């Protein structure tokens, strides 16, 4: 039998399928239409902005860093532009070592470059752009550019580098620039948003000295460029620019030629000198020896140089003027004297008999050389540097009264100078000892510990900055000015000058007659005392006080013998001074480490500083050589005029390949005080 087809049922099934297919198609078109409506209408603004962002790249423009100049306009820190070859590890498509090997076929990549790059890798994130070579020549740039397609993640950039034209001169006060490390990046996250935005694209910041403390003024304002990019991310054309604003010029109060002269007089010896204007607190010289070359740090210091600087027994990276603390020795005596006058513990005419030693209990405190001076009043105690006078004075005053009287001069606390890292020093008290030691038997203050404090020994430890600041406070009759290295900041756009005047501290209110007693006694030191030979023939009147501080303790039954001690164990040579006598314009404190008596090494440097500042004289070459050896007293030979002596390094500066001619001329300019 033949089965008959049900046409009606088949047609119904067909129509159902067609309707289902049509519904599916309509649903699909509906979804597409809805998506198009969402993207083109509801999300139009957002997607348009994203598309524009993909087409347009906003690149930060790092500003020129501001100049640092001395009080006479001599350039101490400037900038130059150079090409660098940089690698972004996250974008490299081949093993990194292989990429570096291939780059070495186009440009020279030294082992030092590789070591620096590896260190930067360890300090940075994988997506940071890191330099493998700095200061590319034009030929090297051309060779790499022709082969750039072979090196994804590698590019040539033009960057600004810091330049210190005078090299090691003044390195501790100027500081240096260095690449921002991870710890500094972490700290930057706490900055406000505007400041963070201003540092986009910035890879280097100030690390020490003025470079660090005046970072925000020197940095400038970051600009930007809008550039149209291709699908591969290459810039096609520039659309809009907002130029960066260069950093401001920071003008120091320091006379860099005076600074250079003092560093030359120190020679290979260690030590520090701080000279300042007692009327204003402006620092005129801020010397720490030995120095270092800040240019070594600009593009990353290599391991060998870092090890040499960091492991040297002479500690060239230590800013001795700011962080080096020393017993003040006999330079402490004028301050003990003013404290005695202020408290009424002594009057100027009171006589103390100096027989060469001071007995306290079963301990004998000796004078230097064990020679007695006989009857001594306050004037003679300073002029002849009587230890016995100040042993007995310390015993009468007690440690806490001494602390309370001398702490306001700046001893044992930070002066507030405008660079970071200052040491507090140590001016002891009974409260200090209770805090400093853990065991009860160590916390007790013994009366015998007070005696040696009177001559600047014992626990006393201060910086040359603190001693010079204290001298300035005494000379000004108790007016307290914070020491500062920066005189003014010049706006690079408006050319406006803003002088730096730190807010003064409350005055001490010293009696003028008491100040005059101390000044006259210190003048006597240069006329009949321990520095008479050094200041012989000086056409001006100055005051001073020599000091000799022990680097190691000599037992009671021993005598000091420098010949038996290692060089680093010998006494330090100190000198505290001011000039001219009637209206001082300069006060200084100087120490030459392990150089013996104050009159032998430190005082001759002070004499030459005064000759420079007051007379415009620069020591003769023979005198410089003798002073460096510690064999000078009064100046020898015919002094040179300050303006006739070039700054160190400026003779070759103009030939530097990357230093602008204007910079070379500025750094070699004559100094006009």
Catalytic residues: 330
- Cα 169 versus chain centre, distance: 13
Three-state secondary-structure class, residue 156: strand
Strands of the sheet with 271-276, listed across from one edge? 283-289, 271-276, 586-592, 572-579, 543-549
> Phi and psi for 346 in degrees, rounded to 5?
-145, 150
H helix intervals, 398-527: 399-406, 430-436, 440-443, 447-451, 464-475, 512-527
Contact 201, 61 (CB under 8 A): yes
H helix intervals, 366-427: 378-383, 387-397, 399-406
Angle at 69 between CA 68 and CA 72, to 5 degrees: 170
E-strand spans in 172-331?
177-179, 204-206, 223-229, 235-242, 249-252, 271-276, 283-289
CA distance 219 to 238: 25
CA distance 368 to 234: 77
CA distance 464 to 320: 8
Helix and strand numbers, DSSP H then E, in the chain: 25, 23
The Cβ-side half-sphere exposure at 191, using a 13 Å CA radius, reads 15
Q: Which residue has the tokens 């505007």?
A: 194
Contact 592, 605 (CB under 8 A): yes
Q: What count of other Cβ atoms lies within 10 Å of the Cβ of residue 158? A: 10
Q: Which residue has the tokens 């000015």?
A: 481
CA distance 65 to 210: 13
Angle at 387 between CA 366 and CA 633, to 5 degrees: 105
CA distance 25 to 23: 5
The closest alpha carbon to 476, from 276, 329, 177, 213, belongs to 276
The closest alpha carbon to 504, from 526, 490, 483, belongs to 483
Contacts of 405 (CB under 8 A, 6+ apart): 339, 342, 343, 397
CA distance 156 to 49: 30
The closest alpha carbon to 276, from 97, 481, 74, belongs to 481
């Amino acid at each position: 039998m033949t089965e008959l087809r049900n046409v009606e049922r088949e047609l119904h099934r067909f129509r159902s399928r067609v309707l289902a297919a049509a519904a599916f198609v309509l649903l699909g078109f509906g979804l597409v239409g809805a998506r198009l409506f969402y993207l083109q209408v509801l999300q139009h603004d957002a997607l348009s902005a994203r598309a524009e962002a993909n087409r347009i790249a906003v690149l930060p423009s790092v500003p020129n860093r501001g100049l640092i100049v001395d009080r006479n306009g001599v350039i101490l820190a400037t900038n130059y532009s150079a090409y660098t070859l940089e690698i972004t590890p996250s974008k490299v498509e081949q093993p990194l070592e292989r990429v570096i090997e291939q780059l070495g076929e186009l440009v020279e990549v030294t082992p030092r470059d590789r070591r620096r790059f590896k260190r930067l890798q360890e300090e940075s994130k994988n997506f940071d752009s890191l330099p493998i070579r700095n200061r590319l020549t034009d030929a090297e740039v051309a060779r790499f550019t022709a082969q750039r397609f072979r090196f994804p993640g590698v590019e040539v950039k033009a960057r600004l580098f810091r330049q210190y034209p005078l090299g090691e001169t003044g390195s501790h006060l100027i500081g240096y620039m260095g690449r921002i490390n991870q710890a500094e990046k972490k700290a930057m996250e706490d900055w406000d948003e505007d400041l963070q935005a201003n540092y986009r694209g910035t890879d280097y910041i100030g690390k020490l000295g003025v470079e660090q403390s005046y970072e925000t003024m020197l940095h400038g304002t970051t600009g930007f460029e809008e550039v149209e990019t291709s699908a591969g991310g290459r810039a096609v054309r520039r659309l809009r620019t907002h130029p960066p604003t260069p950093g401001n010029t920071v003008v120091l109060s320091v006379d860099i030629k005076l600074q250079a002269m003092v560093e030359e007089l120190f020679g290979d010896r260690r030590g520090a000198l701080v000279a300042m204007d007692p009327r204003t607190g402006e620092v005129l010289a801020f010397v720490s020896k030995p120095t270092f070359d800040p240019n070594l740090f600009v593009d990353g210091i290599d391991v060998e140089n870092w090890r040499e600087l960091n492991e040297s027994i002479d500690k060239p990276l230590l800013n001795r003027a700011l962080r080096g603390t020393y017993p003040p020795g006999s330079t402490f005596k004028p301050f003990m004297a003013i404290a005695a006058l202020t408290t009424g513990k002594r009057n100027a005419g009171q006589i103390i008999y100096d027989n060469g030693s001071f007995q306290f209990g079963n301990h004998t405190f000796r004078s230097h050389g064990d020679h007695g001076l006989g009857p001594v009043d306050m004037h003679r105690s300073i002029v002849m540097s009587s230890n016995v006078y100040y042993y007995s004075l310390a015993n009468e005053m007690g440690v806490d009264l001494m602390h309370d009287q001398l702490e306001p001069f700046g001893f044992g606390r930070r002066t507030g100078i405008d660079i970071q890292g200052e040491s507090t020093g140590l001016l002891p008290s009974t409260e200090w000892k209770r805090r400093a030691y853990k065991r009860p038997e160590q916390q007790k203050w013994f009366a015998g510990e007070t005696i040696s404090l009177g001559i600047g020994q014992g626990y006393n430890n201060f910086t040359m900055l603190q001693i010079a600041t204290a001298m300035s406070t005494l000379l000004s009759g108790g007016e307290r000015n914070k020491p500062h290295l920066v005189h003014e900041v010049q706006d690079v756009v408006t050319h406006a000058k803003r002088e730096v005047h730190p807010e003064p501290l409350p005055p001490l209110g010293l009696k003028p007659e008491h100040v005059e007693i101390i000044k006259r006694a210190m003048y006597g030191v240069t006329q009949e005392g321990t520095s008479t030979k050094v200041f012989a023939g000086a056409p001006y009147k100055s005051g001073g006080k020599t000091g000799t501080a022990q680097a190691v303790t000599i037992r009671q039954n021993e005598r000091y013998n420098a010949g038996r001690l290692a060089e680093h164990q010998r006494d330090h040579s100190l000198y505290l001074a001011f000039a001219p006598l009637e209206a001082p314009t300069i006060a200084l404190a100087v120490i030459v480490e392990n150089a013996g008596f104050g009159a032998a090494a430190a005082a001759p440097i002070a004499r030459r500083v005064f000759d420079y500042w007051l007379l415009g004289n620069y020591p003769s070459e023979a005198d410089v050589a003798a002073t460096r050896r510690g064999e000078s007293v009064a100046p020898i030979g015919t002094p040179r005029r300050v303006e006739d002596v070039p700054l160190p390094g400026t003779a070759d500066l103009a030939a530097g390949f990357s230093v602008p001619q204007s910079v070379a001329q500025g750094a070699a300019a004559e100094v006009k005080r």
